[in-house]
Amino acid sequence: SPSDPDLVERARAAKEKLGDKVFVLGHHYQRDEVIQFADVTGDSFKLARDAAARPEAEYIVFCGVHFMAESADILTGDEQKVVLPDLAAGCSMADMATAEQVAECWDVLTEAGVAEQVVPVSYMNSSADIKAFTGRHGGTICTSSNAKRALEWAFEQGEKVLFLPDQHLGRNTAVRDMGMTLEDCVLYNPHKPNGGLTAEELRDAKMILWRGHCSVHGRFSVESVEDVRARIPGVNVLVHPECKHEVVAAADQVGSTEYIIKALEAAPAGSKWAIGTELNLVRRLANRFAAEDKEIVFLDKTVCFCSTMNRIDLPHLVWTLESLAEGNLVNRIQVDPETEKFAKLALERMLALP
Ligand code: 13P
Ligand code: SF4
């Protein structure tokens, strides 16, 4: 959608007034009207790595969702203030694992006598509390671009992995990249007593997958892959690893948002692509690459935007930048020091992965 020229001008003016005092980060799923103001765009890994890239900036405006802003706060010093333009920009997947549920799960693993063998690996898409739990128990964070390396590392530390909160990324990485079978994975349901698992099932499992998923990527189906192959002969199907295992198995390639962009940059003219990830990114790529004669379609027309990513819109960004320019610190995201200490340990393990 075309941005309101008045708001564009106000955002530009406020950002100019702030100068080096502000550093704007934008995730690839952000709206066009917002992403145009980002100093750095990236996938979750790149944004975590680059959060501390401008130590002179007093404000880091994070155009993305809450867990990303928390991670940026954890990875930067106290003098840098992380701001989320709309505090309601959460992530339904991250909300599927609470600190209480995960503590209860650890009790279940302890009761079953397996906790000492378990290394937690938590997807970036989780709250700071879950990252702190991970750090306390010797585990690491991962993103969709380093999940394989994180699992390799974890299986050097222990015999089993508790992967949370995205069952699909966990299962896809275990089966596609680590040579495990579906039978090596069990699903821990936090809404059932003992996670719905017996002690024997926990003892036999290599991967204990938390029962969480992305409400956007979970909607792509094998039928949508079959339909697009029938409709567009020769199409390459490229999906995000948050998609279900059967969708990933039916696709030609799988990767993070940054991987998807690089694959399309490297693709030859005349190639055709169906992309299974968030719609803002797919539309932007379709427009960008149309000029190079690369045909890019959205894998499934019934899937829609990530509603929480979309909460960051131009009016919220203008309000944020103008407030900061006037000296009003709004919407600060600040993780408490005790949580930060252990969450940082887990994040730093990820950043140190080979
Ligand atoms: P990446 O950008 O790391 O691929 O993550 C996708 C996502 O769902 C972020 O919420
Ligand atoms: Fe969360 Fe999915 Fe939205 Fe990413 S796309 S922020 S995982 S709901």
Q: Tens of pLDDT along 295-320?
A: 999 999 888 899 999 999 999 999 99
Q: Is residue 353 part of a domain?
A: no
- pLDDT single digits (tens) 251-299: 999 999 999 999 999 999 999 999 999 999 999 999 999 999 999 999 9
Same domain (yes/no): 156, 73:
no
Give the Å distance between the CA of 110 and the centre of ligand 2: 31
Q: Is residue 350 part of a domain?
A: no
Dihedral sign, Cα of residue 259, residue 261, residue 266, residue 269? positive
Residue where the block lists tokens 């937690």? 120
Helix (H) or strand (E) holding 172: helix 167-172
pLDDT interval class at 124 (50, 70, 90)? very high
In whole angstroms, what is the distance from residue 228 CA to residue 248 CA?
A: 14
Q: How many domains, the chain?
A: 3
Give the range of the structural domain holding residue 282, as residue numbers without chain letter: 217-298
Q: Is residue 242 part of a domain?
A: yes
Same domain (yes/no): 198, 104:
yes
pLDDT at 1: 54
Same domain (yes/no): 42, 79:
yes
Same domain (yes/no): 113, 182:
yes
Same domain (yes/no): 67, 113:
no
Helix (H) or strand (E) holding 163: strand 160-164
In the beta sheet, which residues pair with residue 63?
Answer: 26
pLDDT at 3: 83
Which of 298, 319, 349 terminates a domain? The answer is 298
Q: Determine if residue 59 is labeled as part of a ligand binding site.
A: no
Same domain (yes/no): 101, 203:
yes
Same domain (yes/no): 86, 194:
no
In whole angstroms, what is the distance from residue 237 CA to residue 235 CA?
A: 6
CB atoms under 10 Å from CB of 12, counted, come to 14
In whole angstroms, what is the distance from residue 212 CA to residue 38 CA?
A: 30
Atom of ligand 2 nearest to the CA of 91: 1
| Nearest ligand (C-alpha, residue 90) | 2
Residue 2: is its pLDDT beyond 80?
no
Same domain (yes/no): 223, 197:
no
- pLDDT single digits (tens) 38-51: 999 999 999 999 99
pLDDT interval class at 145 (50, 70, 90)? very high
Same domain (yes/no): 155, 223:
no
What is the average per-residue pLDDT within 57-85?
97
**CATH number for position 136:** 3.40.50.10800
Which of 186, 213, 240 terminates a domain? The answer is 213
What is the average per-residue pLDDT within 171-188?
98
Give the Å distance between the CA of 91 and the centre of ligand 2: 5
Measure the CA angle with vertex 60, ends 214 and 143; round to 5°: 30
Same domain (yes/no): 294, 227:
yes
**Ligand 1 binding pocket includes 221 (Cβ within 6 Å):** no
> Which residues have CB under 8 Å from 30's CB, separation 6+?
38, 41, 63, 64, 280, 309, 312
Give the Å distance between the CA of 142 and the centre of ligand 1: 11
What is the average per-residue pLDDT within 154-176?
98
pLDDT at 302: 87
Give the Å distance between the CA of 147 and the centre of ligand 1: 12
Q: Is residue 257 part of a domain?
A: yes
Q: Determine if residue 145 is labeled as part of a ligand binding site.
A: no
CA distances 169 to 122, 141, 145, 344, Å, are 10, 13, 10, 22
Token pair recorded at residue 329:
């610190």
In the beta sheet, which residues pair with residue 118?
Answer: 160
Q: Is residue 328 part of a domain?
A: yes
Atom of ligand 2 nearest to the CA of 64: 6
